[in-house]
Amino acid sequence: MPANIVVPEVGESIVDARIAKWLRKEGERVSAGDPLVELETDKIDLEVGAPAAGVLSRIDRKDGEDVKVGEVLGVIDEAAQGSAAAAPPAAAPAEPAASAEAKTTAKSRATPAAKKAAEQNDVDISRVQGTGDAGRVMRRDVERAAESSSAPAAAPKPAEARPALPEPARTRPAPPVPERPVTAAERTEDRVRMSKRRATIAKRLVEAQSTAAMLTTFNEVDMAAVMALRERHKQSFKDRHGVGLGIASFFVKAAIGALRAFPRLNAEVQGDEMVLKHYFDIGVAVGAAEGLVVPVIRNADRLGFAEIEKQIRDFATRAADGTLSLADLKGGTFTITNGGVFGSLLSTPILNPPQVGILGLHKIQDRPVAVNGQVQLRPMMYMALTYDHRIVDGAEAVRFLVKIKELVEDPGALLLE
């Protein structure tokens, strides 16, 4: 009896995907649940398993094709008799069946990011010890294995001393050889198809610019008080909570205080209505190999500094490993992005629709500023707030950013908020 392999429903906001790679070939026997094909979506990558045991009798959609949720990718014939996975070439030593099965198992329990890293670093993923859930191989595991295999060998023994040779007679240096002109054949280009996530990011950024009335206002914040507080408490904080005290949690807390004071920044536009939200799900932009992702800290107003820092650290780790789930990325009422970690001094962030506000943080830099009538060097940061002018007035946006400045420059006020 045939069983269809279909694109699963991943979430209400995901309606299509791209076939990244088939893991099995037509005619191979598979067991129920065996990974068959990797799919890319605009938010997460996932593997589709065999719906039943049998033979992969037909592959309908090839690598690189775009597919919709519910479409048939191939067929499993439960009654057919097929072959096992392809054996190695005859010229190579025969590999024990147990070893081959181990390699297949290791590959299936690795994340897509780990597999890609293994290919790039020429690492046998079956030999990598996984540190993820249930022993799953993560990208960091592959990178650690690659570093170990590339450790420098022992230095060779010094050569025996030889009698010095007479210094050759000095000659005039040869005249410089004119540089050979670059030929047209050497001016090469690569044409690389965008990943599903990158293509969706590009599409949504253009949509954001064409649908929202975006405007950006700027301010600067003196980080001296926050940095001094962190210095005083960083060790005790880490000892108590097991995580470092970064600056992100201060800005999450400050943003919540400002959103309470100016609720139209915590809203969205639906037709001719404003949907004002009385909960605070703060998105934190995180860089990943396939593009920027924005996992969301749910009910951030109910969390302490340590809980916020732990969630941000966890998001960054799982973004690098490619293990963020759709639930991590769904929703959000306001976003914070920090270009300062890459050295950005000033930028204008783009809205993350349907949100109407995004706060951009930047590099902390010592600058001369006037303090009580005297010029002092202070650790300053430029902040940028991009907002949707359809429902947020300019004066409201400026006051919102001033509120964040006031809270960050007086961290004790965050406790009162």
pLDDT tens digits along 299-335: 999 999 999 999 999 999 988 887 888 889 888 999 9
Q: How far apart are CA 246 and CA 307, in angstroms?
A: 12
- Does 128 lie in the same domain as 64? no
Across 156-227, the runs of DSSP E, i.e. the strands, are 214-222
Intervals of the chain under pLDDT 70: 11-13, 80-109, 112-113, 132-134, 150-175, 177-178, 290, 417
What is the span of the domain harbouring residue 130? 109-142
Q: How far is CA 358 from CA 36, 78, 217, 277, 415, in A?
A: 40, 52, 11, 15, 23
158 lies in a domain? no
SS3 5: strand
- Does 130 lie in the same domain as 65? no
User: Is 388 noted as a catalytic residue in this protein?
Assistant: no
- Dihedral angle of Cα 199, 6, 50, 110, to the nearest 10 degrees: 10
Does residue 416 come out as left (phi exceeding 0), alpha (psi in the -120 to 50 range) or beta? alpha
Query: What's the confidence (pLDDT) of residue 99?
Result: 47
Query: What's the confidence (pLDDT) of residue 17?
Result: 87
- Selection from 9, 55, 58 nearest residue 32 by Cα: 55
Give the CA angle between residues 261, 328, 346 to the nearest 5°. 55
69 lies in a domain? yes
Q: Of the residues 66, 124, 393, 410, which is catalytic?
A: 393
Q: How far apart are CA 75 and CA 30, in angstroms?
A: 12
- Does 39 lie in the same domain as 138? no
- Does 128 lie in the same domain as 44? no
Give residue 205's identity as a one-letter amino acid code: L
Give residue 160's identity as a one-letter amino acid code: E
Buried-exposed string 358-374: b where 16+ CB fall within 10 A, e elsewhere: bbbbbbbeeeeeeeeee
Q: Which of 142, 157, 183 is the last residue in one of the domains?
A: 142
Number of folded domains that form the chain:
3
- Selection from 37, 40, 16 nearest residue 197 by Cα: 40
Q: How far apart are CA 19 and CA 35, in angstroms?
A: 13
- Asked if residue 319 lies in contact with residue 287, where contact means CB atoms within 8 angstroms, the answer is yes
CATH number, domain containing residue 81 = 2.40.50.100
Query: What's the confidence (pLDDT) of residue 151?
Result: 55
122 DSSP 8-state letter? T
Query: What's the confidence (pLDDT) of residue 128?
Result: 86
Q: Which residue has the tokens 């964040």?
A: 404
Query: What's the confidence (pLDDT) of residue 245?
Result: 93
Query: What's the confidence (pLDDT) of residue 141?
Result: 79
- Does 350 lie in the same domain as 236? yes
Neighbouring-strand partners of residue 37: 22, 48
Q: Which of 127, 142, 157 is the last residue in one of the domains?
A: 142
Query: What's the confidence (pLDDT) of residue 161?
Result: 53
Q: Which residue has the tokens 């409201």?
A: 396
What sign has the CA pseudo-torsion 277, 281, 285, 288?
Answer: negative
165 lies in a domain? no
102 lies in a domain? no
Q: Of the residues 241, 301, 314, 389, which is catalytic?
A: 389
Contacts of 43 (CB under 8 A, 6+ apart): 11, 13, 14, 197, 293, 324, 326, 329
- Does 61 lie in the same domain as 123? no
- Does 118 lie in the same domain as 70? no
Give the CA angle between residues 240, 241, 246 to the nearest 5°. 115
Give the CA angle between residues 301, 307, 308 to the nearest 5°. 65
User: Is 389 noted as a catalytic residue in this protein?
Assistant: yes
Contacts of 80 (CB under 8 A, 6+ apart): 54, 55, 57
- Does 409 lie in the same domain as 336? yes
- Asked if residue 256 lies in contact with residue 281, where contact means CB atoms within 8 angstroms, the answer is no
Contacts of 26 (CB under 8 A, 6+ apart): 56, 57, 58, 59
Query: What's the confidence (pLDDT) of residue 89?
Result: 44
**Tokens encoding 53:** 């045991």
pTM: 0.67
